[in-house]
Amino acid sequence: MSVPDGDTRERILDAAKNVFLEHGTSGARMQDIADTAEVNKALLHYYFQNKDNLSGAVFQRELGRLIQPVLQTLGSSLPLEEKVRTTIDLYLAKLSAFPLMPGYVLAEMHFHPDRLEALLASVADVAPREMGRKVFAVLGHQIDDAVTAGRMRPISPHQFLVNLVSLCVFPFAARPLLVLMTGGNDRFDAMIAERGETLADFFLGALRP
């Protein structure tokens, strides 16, 4: 067997992501992933040996794509309002492209909590606790400055971040219910498009004194 190239590896990861999103890790079959990637199953074992390793690689890649830009934004020196708007844009763009992603990521975190810390460390190139301290410290200083200037009501950086991320992620986590309640995929998509235009003002408005 010839040695596969990087493009083949990425194609396998893309295929595995789609199969995992549709069927969950436990319901996914290696043969289905191979068929979706249009490779033979031997190549999957060449790269990843087994489904557990493959699911870990997919989770690490997708977690990095979802979380890393947000953490970089929140831990940066950007003004607080710009951080809110950028974070919302990042989340809604990513999750609109892959609306099943929140369910997959949450399931992986619950079923494999033992590997979460290592995966987060590899994504951010720093220990998760250190990463959290940095982000919360930066947000805390910016919030304190805004409160002192009379532009914002007091809120802890932890609650600020949890509220912001929850407002972005929840519609996608509850997508099947919201599709049913709104009357179909098109109306759900229209609701998300409207949310992209209004959520930042809603969130920032709720924090004004």
- CATH number for the domain that contains residue 17: 1.10.10.60
Please tell me whether residues 138 and 194 are part of one structural domain: yes
Q: Is the pLDDT of residue 4 over 50?
A: no
Closest C-alpha among 150, 151, 149, 134 to residue 81: 151
**What tokens appear for 114 in the block?**
């033992």
Q: Write the pLDDT tens digit of every residue in 70-92.
A: 888 998 999 999 999 999 999 99
Please tell me whether residues 82 and 152 are part of one structural domain: yes
Please tell me whether residues 88 and 15 are part of one structural domain: no
Which domain, by its residues, includes 22? 1-49
Report helix, strand and coil shares of the chain as percent, to nearest 5: 80, 0, 20
Residue 40 phi, psi (nearest 5): -85, 155
Please tell me whether residues 156 and 191 are part of one structural domain: yes
pTM: 0.78
Q: Write the pLDDT tens digit of every residue in 167-179.
A: 999 998 888 899 9
Q: Write the pLDDT tens digit of every residue in 115-152.
A: 666 666 666 565 666 777 889 999 999 999 999 999 99
Please tell me whether residues 18 and 84 are part of one structural domain: no
- CATH number for the domain that contains residue 121: 1.10.357.10
Please tell me whether residues 97 and 73 are part of one structural domain: yes
**Does a structural domain hold residue 128?**
yes
pLDDT at 111: 74
Task: Taking residues 157-164, report their average pLDDT.
Answer: 96
**Does a structural domain hold residue 54?**
no
DSSP per residue over 134-153, as a string? HHHHHHHHHHHHHHHTTSS-
Q: State the chain's mean pLDDT as an integer.
A: 86
